[in-house]
Structure 1
Amino acid sequence: MAKLPFVFGPIAGVAPGHEFRNRLELHGAGVHAQTQAGISARQGEGAASIVLSGGYEDDVDFGDVIIYTGRGGRSAESNRQVADQTLTGANLELVRNCTAGLPLRVTRKIEGRSGSFYRYDGLYRVASYWAELGKSGHRVWRFRLELLPAGLLTDGGPSVAESNSPNLFEAAEPVLAYGPAPRRASTVLRVVRDTAVSRRVKALHDYRCQVCGVQLRGAVPYAEAAHIRPLGAPHHGPDALANVLCLCANHHVLFDLGSFGINDNLQLLGLPGRLITQKKHVVGTDFLAYHRGHFYEPLADGKPS
């Protein structure tokens, strides 16, 4: 069987609602690379797709929102958990989707009157993850998956934060699933865009901030790709390595707000120190100049900028 390329996001020619007779057809179309496993993931890169087939007793499917159970610890005979799950392997790659904003293709197995088939149902984001005791008393990892609006892509497409939809991920979930406490739908979401360029700049700097040198760590390291000249109108900055910095969340926000800038000699402006560099990552001085001209506001304290 030919090895298919590992692709995040939509597959050309396959729209939500597309039906497949079996797992081999799913594989052949490039929707799900595994012919048996429910999670298609690659170590260190993330998970590209999952298939919901009713295999895990703790899964809950509300349609637009899925509470998905990670891999491991299940008896193939009884479909019940017989051991604790660990945050390793494919489960860890789902965490990477959450921290990096990588989309996840979701396919459901449908049981019909004349037999079963598989239906591709679009792209979801991994909104959060946690561990808890499952129905069988074993520790499982849960992942909240939320449907992305049609046409919302990651590589070069609009981000979640750029959407004007007032109820972007409002889930039609039963009230009893939450208990008696009142809830309000939230539209404050993390940016989903995470391009190959963004992933490369993080890898080159080992997820360490180029300002403070800190590497944030949870189950996997976390950093953010900050575009020096912003993408999209009216700035039209390119998604190129020379236009991207690897920053921690705090310094990303401060940079976007213009709290500090960077001189052409890479000396920080508004903060002490110098930008941390890596020889394979050359920052474009024209982009730095654009940021200084459009965003950086030196403090009115008499200090030279």
Structure 2
Amino acid sequence: MAGISGNFYEGADAIVLSGGYKDDEDRGDWILYTGQGGNEAGRQVRDQTLTKGNLALALSEEQGLPVRVIRKQRRGGVDGYVYSGLYSVRRHWVEASSDGPLIYRFELDREPSQGEWEPQEATGHRATSVMQRIVRNSSVTQYVKELYDFTCQFCGVRLEVDAGAYAEGAHVRPLGGVHAGRDAISNVLCLCPNDHVLFDKGATFVDAESRLVRTATDEVITELSLEHYVNPGNFSYHRTRIAGQAY
């Protein structure tokens, strides 16, 4: 009934798409799934929290555990459920629902090992599903990394590996899906792997006005080293939609 099967210490083993949350988006190979909680008769009346099934899905994301997807279908006037294969949880964030209260959002992609999703209509004929994927421009992230000499803008660490210096290009506003961030220099930071993960998961964020790097508990870590222009709107989007901050 909750829509998510699993627990906070093993992750989620299955989710059900049954139409109970109107903010869900199902494009076959790509799913934007609304977390559980605060929903009454198809309307969001309370904020969701990162507990129970929501926490289980977040754990599946962190540990790379696939999740079974089950879809509700109606055939011959009868409602039933169809197993649709394994999907990976790519990312999650918090945003306002169409009704107002906050909801957790989970982006899932079909596992390549499952093959292409082939939905069945009530007649048994195959329907066509079109999936668009973002092709990243590596020259953009490479430019930003070279600008900072592969030194993390948050912690100042420069990692040396056998092949030379190593850093990662972090997009402030994520690419693809509902985020629609641009693969542009004004949307990229040069971060070490640790700070990249923390930033992507919303555990850290940047105050655009003061350029302070803060944690989710609003603790100040450092001041952002910034030698190129980053659109303040991207920082604002990350704070509110990824880190779940109110400002």
What TM-score comes out, normalization by structure 2 length?
A: 0.48
Larger Rg: 1
Higher relative contact order (CA 8 A, sep 6+): 2
- The structure richer in strand per residue is 2
TM-score normalised by structure 1 residue count: 0.39
